[in-house]
Amino acid sequence: MRAMLAAETIPARSPGIPMQRRKPRIMSTGTLDGWQVLITGGGSGIGLGCAARFLADGATVTLMGRTRERLEQAAASLDAPEGRIRLAVGDVAVEEDVAKAVTTASAVEGGGERLDVAVASAGTGTMAPVIAQDAEEFDRVMKTNLYGTLYTFKHAGGVIAGSGGGAMCAISSIAGARTHQCGGAYCASKAAIDSLVQNAADELGRANVRVNSVLPGLVETDLSQGLQDDAAMLEDYLECMPVRRTGKPEDIAQAVRFLCGPEASWITGVLLNVDGGQHLRRGPKWEDLGRQLFGDDIIEGRINRN
């Protein structure tokens, strides 16, 4: 299943909880004037929300994504001052592409390099029970989510250290901390990201580079559209949230901006839940959708090994 819960396989969205697609407002506070920021997966969703937040404080932001058209559309939607947005076309699953994006993000007018912040936001998902998990599909998710984060930390981390210090932040998920039935590949990738974050934080603190992770719950993005459109699934998510609403990209962006900014200069190795409190309860029940996609025998462990 290449798409994570394709919307066409799911009933109509529950009324009363509409998605809001708003154009980010860029009102600079100047707090991060002169800062240079790289955001992978910056063409949409959480990455785009993070870009708007950093731009609002005066930073120059490089958006990395797989297609130039998507990046150009994202840049136009931000409506930032000229020269404050750079584009880096590439796939985070390809190390060379990430290295080139870091070069673009860290370029200084007149020569030299400087990078203050890197946000590893690019991600993908899939759905399958463990006993029916396709190895190539598992590898695809790991390459984007885990390897993409590794390559970002590897190449951005060295440049940030050489710039005198700064911060990196990964976009993980509640799936890294709570089980999601039929979501083993996605959960494993996010749990691995959080472990990588803490190891990187331990290693790079001596170079004045802080590394943290944000774990979103259900956020209104294209990746989670199928979950949002399934009325029963959406209600199950909401039942698990003390603050009963879906998240918006700006909810995550605010947390990322704080963790990467000067206000958090003594915070590193933190895995911050931003999920309406869902981590206090449980992960979502994806079993019913799994039965629709794979059948009762697979879900209940009755698999023909011949």
CA nearest to 187, candidates 267, 278, 273, 126: 126
CA nearest to 28, candidates 78, 72, 77, 74: 78
- Whole-number Å distance between alpha carbons of 231 and 229: 6
List Cα–Cα distances, 145 to 130, 168, 186, 192, 266, in angstroms: 18, 15, 8, 9, 27
Q: Is-catalytic flag, 237?
A: no
How, if at all, do strands 166-171 and 209-216 pair? parallel
**The Cα angle at residue 97 between residues 218 and 252, in degrees rounded to 5:** 20
List Cα–Cα distances, 138 to 9, 127, 132, 192, in angstroms: 21, 10, 11, 13
The identity of residue 167, as a single letter, is A
Residue pair 94/66 in contact (Cβ under 8 Å)? The answer is no
Q: Report the chain's terminal Cα–Cα distance, integer Å.
A: 22
Phi then psi dihedrals of residue 235, to 5 deg: -65, -35
Q: Which two tokens stand for residue 40?
A: 């992978």
**The Cα angle at residue 44 between residues 117 and 275, in degrees rounded to 5:** 75
Residue positions annotated with a catalytic role: 186
